[in-house]
């Protein structure tokens, strides 16, 4: 992330902790790490400024940095551009909306193109980028169901293959963190087991799997569901389908595109009631049009039109990713679904950090953790973002 900043203090902040809000609190960051924190009445009076930068939050919210494990693009760029320039632009854009860590997410595409995207993500992760940190890669396909492609190109769908997994995971050791897979496809169970043995999250998605087929995938080790409800067999009262299986499975963490378009707000309330905050993770599924005006865009090789901020394929009108940002997802969960700020932060930061094995350093405001922070005003719009103590955005 480049050089970390010197010591600074944020005070007069509404600190969003894992299970509460400190209504008036402070914290001290040293070399990119949270070293002290407390309530405002415990603020050291001996600290008067000088070499220490003191930031007055004026009662605004300070949350742990948001972690988005499903991003295709933003600001006119997409992951499948396969360039460092695109990755850096996407990182900078999403940081302006409170995202401090992300998984560049690929599409179903030729293997050479996927390899190029993983290589670009790997190089970006090694460079100083003044935006959200690349924490790994999510391969959304190509091991999906031809019947449930959604906005993916069916021409490049292939059966699950351990050889292909080894090739893509071998581009950069440990970088591939998550793979979307249809568990009903021949070879899927073996692929899921291989992923688990290599610390890769198998995520059920773009699938026409029945309840039984989906549960077989869960038993093999698939512990995530990619954008719940979207591009998967729905819930029916005579056959629970993929949706029924992942809602019933206590071990499955469900991604939720909390924009009110991909999933109705009342259904989001239902999911929250069934799964609870520990088994939900907020994502954007953002594509290149995020942050841009309505108009015509590309999602991989497919043509997309955005109207009123909603992206759909020009042919077939399937939803094609989103223009959502993580701060808007948090706003929607708090304002429209009615969850607490700490529960929204838990789903947008703590759960993804935990699932990526990063909870010792990220995912909450706590002593010894990276100073990945986002400040929001009363309307829950981003005022400033820090990544490892480095301010990467200020309004």
3-class secondary structure per residue, 156-207: HCCCCCHHHHHHHHCCCCCCEEEEEECCCCCCHHHHHHHHHHCCCEEEECCE
Element (H, E) at 188: helix 188-197
pLDDT of 5 reads: 54
Can you tell me which residue has the tokens 């390899």?
Answer: 115
Catalytically annotated residues: 285
- Report how far residue 206's alpha carbon sits from residue 183's, in angstroms, rounded to the nearest whole number: 10
pLDDT at 47: 67
pLDDT of residue 1: 39
Provide the pLDDT for residue 211.
98
Global confidence as pTM: 0.96
* pLDDT computed for residue 3 by the predictor: 44
Per-position pLDDT tens, the chain of length 395: 344 455 899 999 999 999 999 999 999 999 999 999 999 988 887 665 567 889 999 999 999 999 999 999 999 999 999 999 999 999 999 999 999 999 999 999 999 999 999 999 999 999 988 899 999 999 998 999 999 999 899 999 999 999 999 999 999 999 999 999 999 999 999 999 999 999 999 999 999 999 999 999 999 999 999 999 999 999 999 999 999 999 999 999 999 999 999 999 999 999 999 999 999 999 999 999 999 999 998 888 888 899 999 999 888 888 888 999 999 999 999 999 999 999 999 999 999 999 999 999 999 999 999 999 999 999 999 999 999 999 999 99
pLDDT for 261: 94
Pairing of the two strands 253-257 and 280-283: parallel
Q: Could you give all domains of the chain from N- to C-terminal order, each with its CATH number?
A: 8-63+364-394 (2.30.40.10), 66-355 (3.20.20.140)
**How confident is the model at residue 45, as a pLDDT?**
74
**Closest C-alpha to 3, from 129, 118, 87:** 129
């Amino acid at each position: 992330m480049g050089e970390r900043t010197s010591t600074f203090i944020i005070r007069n902040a509404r600190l969003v902790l894992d299970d509460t809000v400190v209504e008036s609190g402070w914290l001290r960051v040293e070399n990119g790490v949270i070293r002290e924190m407390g309530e405002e009445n415990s603020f050291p009076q001996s600290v008067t400024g000088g070499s220490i930068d003191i930031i007055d939050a004026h009662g605004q919210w300070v949350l742990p940095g948001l972690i988005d494990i499903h991003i295709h693009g933003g600001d006119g760029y997409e992951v499948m551009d396969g360039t460092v320039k695109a990755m850096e632009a996407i990182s900078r854009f999403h940081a302006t909306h409170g995202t401090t860590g992300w998984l560049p997410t690929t599409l179903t595409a030729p293997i050479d193109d996927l390899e190029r995207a993983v290589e670009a993500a790997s190089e970006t992760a090694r460079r100083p980028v003044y935006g959200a940190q690349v924490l790994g890669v999510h391969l959304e396909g190509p091991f999906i169901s031809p019947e449930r492609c959604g906005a993916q190109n069916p021409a490049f769908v292939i059966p699950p293959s351990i050889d292909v997994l080894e090739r893509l995971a071998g581009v950069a050791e440990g970088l591939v963190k998550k793979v979307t897979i249809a568990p009903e496809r021949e070879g899927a169970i073996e692929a899921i087991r291989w992923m688990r043995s290599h610390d890769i999250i198998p995520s059920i998605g773009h699938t026409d799997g029945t309840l039984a087929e989906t549960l077989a995938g869960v038993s093999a080790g698939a512990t995530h569901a990619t954008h719940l409800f979207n591009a998967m067999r729905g819930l029916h009262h005579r056959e629970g389908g993929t949706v029924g299986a992942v809602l019933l499975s206590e071990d499955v963490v469900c991604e939720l595109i909390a924009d009110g378009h991909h999933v109705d707000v009342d259904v989001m309330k239902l999911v929250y009631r069934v799964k609870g905050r520990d088994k939900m993770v907020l994502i954007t599924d953002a594509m290149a049009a995020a942050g841009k005006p309505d108009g015509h865009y590309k999602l991989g090789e497919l043509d997309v039109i955005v109207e009123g901020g909603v992206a759909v394929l020009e042919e077939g009108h399937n939803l094609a990713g989103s223009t959502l940002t993580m701060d808007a997802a948090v706003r929607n969960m708090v304002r429209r679904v009615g969850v607490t700020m700490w529960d929204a932060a838990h789903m947008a930061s703590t759960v993804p950090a935990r699932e990526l094995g990063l909870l010792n350093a990220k995912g909450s405001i706590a002593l010894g953790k990276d100073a990945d922070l986002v400040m929001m005003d009363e309307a829950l719009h981003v005022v400033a973002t820090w990544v490892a103590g480095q301010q990467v955005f200020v309004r």
